[in-house]
Every structure is written in C-alpha cells, then in structure tokens.
Chains A and B, each alone.
Chain A
Amino acid sequence: MDIMTILALSLETAIGPIAAIYVLAAIGLNMHFGYTGLLNFGQVGFMLVGAYGVAVSVTTFGLPLSVGFVISLGCSAVLALILGIPTLRLRADYLAISTIAVAEVLRLVYRAEFARPVTGGVYGRNSFADAFYDANPLPAGSYGVGDVDFNAGELWLTLACWGLVALGLVMTALLMNSPWGRVIKGIREDEDAVRSLGKDAFTYKLQSLVFGGVFGGLAGAMIALNQQNIHPDQFMPQVTFYLWAMLLLGGVGTLWGPVVGPVIMWFLLTLFDETLRGMASMDVLPFLATSDSGPLRHALVGVVLMVLIVYRPQGLVGNRKEMLVNVK
C-alpha cells in the first residue's frame, strides 16, 4: 500500500458520486440552517423518502424511472409541508425536535413488517435503476487519470450527481441574491423584525424548508441510483449529523461551503481509513486490527473538527467577522 494509491483513492472518493450526493443534501441543509436559521436535524428523512420515492415507484408500482424521480421530489416536498405547517409558527426548537423524530419514525415505518408489500421492509428494494444506466451515452471503458479511474457507469452517475449540484448552486445563488434571499436572511437574524416590516415570515420559512427538503430528496434519489438497492437501515440519524459536520466544516451560510465541506470530509475519511488499514496490514501498529480503522477514522475526523472550531469557527469558506458579530 503506497501513499500514491491512498491519495488516488481518497481523491476518487472526494470527487465521486457519494461526495456529490452529500453535497446535494448539504445544499438543502445550508438553505435551512445557513440562510434561514431553521434547525433541521432530520435531513436524512428527506433522503429516505427521496430514495424510496424512486425505488418504490419503479419496483412496486412499475412506473418508469423518470416518473419515480418526480414522485420522489413530490414526496420530499410533502414531507417538508407536513413538518413545517405545524411547527414553523412556533419557536425554532419545535422544528428541530420534530425533524429528528420524524426522520427516525419514517425509517421505522418503512422497515416495518406491515409496510413490506410496498417498501420491502427490512430487505428494502433493488433493481430499479437499470433505466438510468441503460440511458448512459458514454461508451464502455475506463475513464480517468492514473490511479483515479471510473468505469462508464460510474462516470455517468458522477456526472449526473455533479450536474444536479451545479443546478442546486445556480438556484441557490439566484435565490440568495434576490429580494427573496434578503428576506430569508432577515428571518435568520430576527423574525419579528421581518414581520414588523410586512413580510410573512411563516410562508418564507415554509418555502425554504421545501426547497432544502427537495434537495435532500434529490440526494436520496441519487443514493438509490448509485447503490441500485436500498434498505431502510442505511438512513440512520448519524447521516444527518455527518451532513451537519460537513456543512460546518465547509462554512455555514455560504454558497460554496456545502460543496467544500463534504468533498474535504470524504477525502479525509478515506485517507485516514486507508492509511490506518495499510498500517494495520503492515503490522506497524500491532495493537490495531484491520477492522478497527472504521471507528478510528471517525475519531480522527472528530479531532479535525475540534481544531476547526477552535481556529476557524466560520468554516473553511466562511466570513469570520460576520460569524462573530453577535458574539460579545
């Protein structure tokens, strides 16, 4: 295991589909928390309904994949409305509690025995993504530079994911540089002030929740395409907290923060993982079994995050002065 291979593998992860999927979900979370100040601790719930929207439409109901995509986005928008309408008139904490609970309840319902005819229960769903890979215009073969390489299918998916990321960034940039975005940022600062100026804060918050939720659902749909099989237990609450960590790493309330965060985080995760694995297999660290690398890499990422919070609380691309304006 040489260092170049490890670096190539880490880079491949950082620019690959999984990182792009986390970027998509982080774009949504950034709209919620970074711009509007909504505490969404259940982004994984949106990813779950997004993933199942595609999978269930195709497998259970025999619909085409494209219709499945539309249904998946519709499901995440409806979830946002269900979460938002009762809680967004209340204090911020109510949304936080509801989102974390609803995301977990959704996972339990989707894996329940009674849901098995529709969702496949604990076994989940598979073989629904063929239409996507059949539509691949790229000729078969290997693409890449040196050790970083993708086969045609992987590249097709990677391009689709980053294409959606680009769409998300363009939409976010247009929205946040408009009067709509100004009201949204105003709500983050002080909701009552915005209401006193004649803006209906509730409607804006609901729109923001739906926008971010749809990008969470899109991330879920891309997870389904990437894995070509899904099961409910991959949508655990920690996915949400990885997303939060990535967003904070990149920079909250910035356009590029949700891109930089997941990319760097996946690079580091893979780097630590492969390095530890390599060291274990070479018996450099005799107390370390190969299987220990999983938990240890998260400990190392934790250290990185702690260092970040001490020295760069605004994240990698954030503005420190803006971040600290309310800290006296």
Chain B
Amino acid sequence: MSSDATPGAPAAGRDLMSGAEPAVGSGKADPILRADGVRRSFGGLTAVDVDHLEVQRGTITALIGPNGAGKSTLFNVLTGFDRADAGEWTFQGRKFNGLAGHKVAQRGMVRTFQLTKALTRLTVLENMLLAAPGQRGERFFGAFGRWMWTGQEAANRERALELLARFKLDAKKDDIAGSLSGGQRKLLEMARSLMVEPAMVMLDEPMAGVNPALVQSLLEHITSLRDEGTTVLFVEHDMDVIMGISDWIVVLAQGQVIAEGRPADIRSNQQVIDAYLGAHHDEPDAGGAGDEGDRKEGQP
C-alpha cells in the first residue's frame, strides 16, 4: 500500500490533531484518555514509565516502538489486565486506574490481543453474541426466564449479523471459531470487540500474521471505525501500515515515550531512528562508542 495516503476520509482524524504539538506529553484538544505517571516494573526492569500521555478522541493513534519497549505492558496496564505500580489515568473523564479488566470494557474501552483469542469451540455467531453488553439472560437466575431475554437476544443477533456481514464473516456464522484461519480470527476479534459498543478500541498488533490481502481490508475497517467516531489506539510493527493510517503516533522505547507527532514528524525524528536502528548507525565512528554499542546490540 502507499505509505502517505490515508484510505477513507483522509483529513478527518488529522484535523482533530491540528492543535497538538508534536512533542512528548503534548496536550490534545479533546483527550479521551489521559494518563499520568504510569509505571510498571518487573523485578528490576522498568517496563513502562510514562509521564504524561493523552489520546485525542476520534483519531487513530498508533503506539510503536522496538521489541521490549513496553507497548503491550502499557496496553495491559491501561485495560486492567495488569496492575500498575504507580500512576493515574482517566478515560472519558472517569478514573480508570485500579479498575478490573471487565469493568474497563464495560465502560467503553475494549481491547484485542496480540495472540488472537477466538473462543474456538463456540460458533462465530456465539462469539459475537457473547460480547453484547447488558444482557438480561447473562445473570444466573435470569437464564431461567427465557421470556425476559429472547427479545434482547434477537436484537443482538441482528446487530451481530450486520457486523459479521461488514467483516465478510457472515457465511461462516455457524462454523466453530476454531475452524477459521488466522486472519479471519483477527477479523472476528475486531468485529466482536465492536459488539461491546466501545468508545475506544485498543488493538494489539491487529496485522500480525495476517496475509497482505487481508491487511488491506483490516486497514479499511480501522479507518471506517475512526470515521464513525470510535477512537482507535493500536500497537503495530509494520511501518508502512502505521504511516499510512495513523493520525498520531506515539513512540515508546525502554518504557518511556520518546516522541509523539504526526507521521511526517515521526519519520524525520532522529530519536526515533536511533531507537529503532541504534544510535549513530549512519556515522562511521559508531562502533567506537562503548555503551551506545551495547544499546545497538539490544535492538532488532
């Protein structure tokens, strides 16, 4: 795909970013997520140490960084799947630190996983229906009163079928999810997260292990999500993908935010290039710098 053009409505998300400075911890016009001093360490290793981060509502924000930069840990911490050692964060103005994973999802922030978690022995449609929020038949005693939830179930089924059609999975609705290919599972996971009616989706490497043809359709789904008003925060490795669809990019290295900005800002940011390729990689005397050389070995 071309690395500059944004598919779909090109300027929609970027306009929202017009007020933001391309600097670490910069303020956004209307942040949906605001995090302060988030820290998580494993033993002696500080995996995440983010001073200040804001995510603009209605945009696609990419979280990038070399392996081990702490992207997934930050994801886990923000979504309640891991405990932070310190820090506060709010989502849509509500305090979210210390909230359990399922409550985070109930309040509009839904995540996917790097290794897809399709519920393999449930059918595709059951996967979708499970995610619908506020089901009356989901309570133990409610389950016995079929008349109370059959109407709701039918409405959910209709919405699930619409979403499946949009993600071109409707032909597979009665197959068990375990029979889907890797790429189809990614699509299912994304469609399933939309069943929760989230204000923000957090996609952990949505393109990993997906064939190039499907990458294109996944990208279109992500941009159309944004165009419908859902905020997207995603972790990804493929630079073409990131530069192509992101409205804003946050670069993480060794647990810290080292740069933020529009794709063009990031592309020319020396610190980012250093973090990815090792410092001074273009300079002839690179091998001479002792500790810089060590860092270089640690990078991919």
Seen from chain A, the residues whose Cβ lies within 8 Å of a Cβ on chain B are 171, 174-175, 178-183, 185-186, 188-190, 192-201, 207, 211, 321-322, 325-326
Contact = CB atoms under 8 A, between A and B. Distances in A.
Contact of A181 (B81, B120, B132, B143): B143
Nearest to A181: B143
Given A186-B119, A190-B117, A207-B140, A197 B131 contact: yes
B14 to A, nearest CB: 29
Interface in B65-123: 79, 81, 100-103, 105-106, 110-113, 117-122
A261 B144 CA distance: 26
Given A182-B129, A186-B130, A325-B121, A192 B105 contact: no
A207 to B, nearest CB: 5
Contacts of A325: 120-121, 176, 178-179
B81 A189 contact: no
A185 B195 CA distance: 18
Contacts of B130: 179, 182-183, 186, 194, 197, 199
A189 B149 CA distance: 24
B140 A179 contact: no
A115 B133 CA distance: 49
B46 to A, nearest CB: 24
Contact of B119 (A175, A181, A189, A195): A189
B146 A200 contact: no
Given A175-B144, A326-B178, 6 more contacts: A182-B126, A185-B121, A197-B131, A197-B196, A198-B102, A198-B103
Interface in B185-199: 192-193, 195-196
Contacts of A192: 81, 101, 113, 117
A199 B102 contact: yes
Contact of B137 (A178, A199, A201, A326): A178
A197 B149 contact: no
Contact of B122 (A178, A185, A195, A198): A185
B153 interface: yes
B106 A198 contact: yes
Contact of B112 (A175, A196, A211): A196
B206 to A, nearest CB: 14
Contacts of B138: 178-180, 183, 199
Contacts of B287: none
A186 B140 contact: no
A198 B103 CA distance: 6
Interface string B132-176: 110111111011101001000100000000000000000000001
Given A196-B110, A197-B130, A185 B139 contact: no
Contact of B193 (A171, A182, A195, A197): A197
B176 A322 contact: yes
B140 A180 contact: yes
Contacts of B101: 192, 195-196
Contacts of B135: 179
Given A196-B101, A196-B111, A180 B117 contact: no
A186 B120 CA distance: 9
Nearest to B198: A198
A322 B192 contact: no
